[in-house]
Structure 1
Amino acid sequence: MPYEPPPDLAGLTLAEITALAEARKLPPLDQWSPGEMGESHMRIAADGRWFHEGGEITRPAMVRAFASLLMRDDAGRHWLVTPGQKLAIAVDDAAFIATDVRQDAGALAFRLNTDDLVIAGPDHPIRAAGDADAPAIYLGVRHGTEARLNRSTWAQLAEIALAGDGRSVTSRGATFSLMPA
């Protein structure tokens, strides 16, 4: 079955975004207990590109498939998880890149570089890191992984914050500071 990416965020309501995000069938990583551990020889660069043994993975479908198997443990280490294996993967910064944001009905919906749709809120928090001169904003995705907002998405989020108190944004009842601690 051919892959059809979701429409642009600008043309979707919050209800449509929610339905699309919920319709995505993701593997139940938290239910698997693989017996074999090892190294994947893969790396996700800070710009969101995926590499295997030094060569870039250029097929978007492969990146989406691998991304659906990704988790981060409490120690901050990223893993590709299948029912039989748990393979370490190097991540330079964040596993995903947030490439767009839309505010609708009291929520902030993000599109990721993998075409995943994530609605910020208590289960998908926004976190500010870095410092005032070089801030970095992250969105919780799933299984401990995060997406770093790219420059244009960060600017969109800053405009949303400036329309309010200038320092924070609210989504699904949760307020998130955009000021690094």
Structure 2
Amino acid sequence: MVSTAEPIRPPALDLSRASLADIASAVAEKRLPPVEQWNPTHCGHSDMRIRADGSWWHGGTPIGRAALVRLFSTILRREADGRFVLVTPVEKLDIEVDDAPFLAVEATSEGEGPGRTLAFRLLTDDIVVAGPANPLRLETAEDGTPRPYLHVRGPTERPLEALLNRPVFYQLADMALAEQDKLGGPLGLWSGGAFFAFAD
């Protein structure tokens, strides 16, 4: 049974003031359950849903406790058929996801050009550094608007991703345009030694 007591947590990392070393330390300290190693019997539906705005709902009601959302987010997995599940060593329950299961709400940048590092804070307070293991990708929605995503974790063929919220994407777009004006080349940004294009 999951305890509903609020765990004692250190304050969320402030990306606007954090150094690259602080960010790397926060990422390294994150310990997640080994959900890819768990293969319990499927037990049905959780009656939970993650909306496109990153909010978590149960039975049609928003889950208001951030600690509970963070806990559930650590046992989230994507199956080979594309379904999302909450998994423990003894049970596996489906969960509906409207878009991406995570939402990136803050970004920070250090360096420029090929030496740049981009770090993102998710709504769940997870920190993700973009790079070869955590690529950025850009889709175009049917209405023509950009839909930027960041690989958070999971195998490449069935990743758990974060949608970048609009302010974060505009921040990146401004950086990319400024860098293109200064350095030339295609529109996009480097992070962790990888280049992520913002246009075809």
Normalised TM-score (structure 1): 0.93
1:175 aligns with: 195
Q: 2:160 aligns with which of 124, 131, 145?
A: 145
1:127 aligns with: 137
- AA aligned to 2:151 is G
Q: Whose Rg is larger?
A: 2
Further displaced range: 28-37 or 95-104 = 28-37
Distance 1:32 1:73 in 2: 12
Shift of 1:87: 1.1
Percentage identity across aligned positions?
44
Contact 1:108 1:120 in 2 (8 A): yes
Distance 1:50 1:67 in 2: 10
- AA aligned to 1:86 is K
Contact 1:43 1:52 in 2 (8 A): yes
Q: Give the 3-state SS of the residue equivalent to 1:43 in structure 2.
A: strand
Contact 2:36 2:77 in 1 (8 A): no
User: Runs ≥4 in structure 1, deviation > 3 angstroms?
Assistant: none
Shift of 1:5: 3.0
Distance 2:80 2:147 in 1: 21
Unaligned 5+ runs, structure 1: none
Unaligned 5+ runs, structure 2: 1-6, 181-185
Matches within 5 A, 1:74-85: 74-85=80-91
Distance 1:26 1:119 in 2: 16
Matched, 1:111 2:126: no
Shift of 1:54: 0.7
Q: How many residues align?
A: 180
Q: 2:11 aligns with which of 2, 5, 18?
A: 5
Q: Give the 3-state SS of the residue equivalent to 1:163 in structure 2.
A: helix
* Cα deviation 1:79-138 (Å, max 9, x = unaligned): 111111111110001101100111114210000000000000111110101158300100
2:183 aligns with: none
Shift of 1:7: 2.5
Q: Give the 3-state SS of the residue equivalent to 1:58 in structure 2.
A: coil
Normalised TM-score (structure 2): 0.85
Distance 1:36 1:88 in 2: 8
Matched, 1:46 2:52: yes
Distance 1:168 1:17 in 2: 22
- AA aligned to 2:27 is A
2:172 aligns with: 157
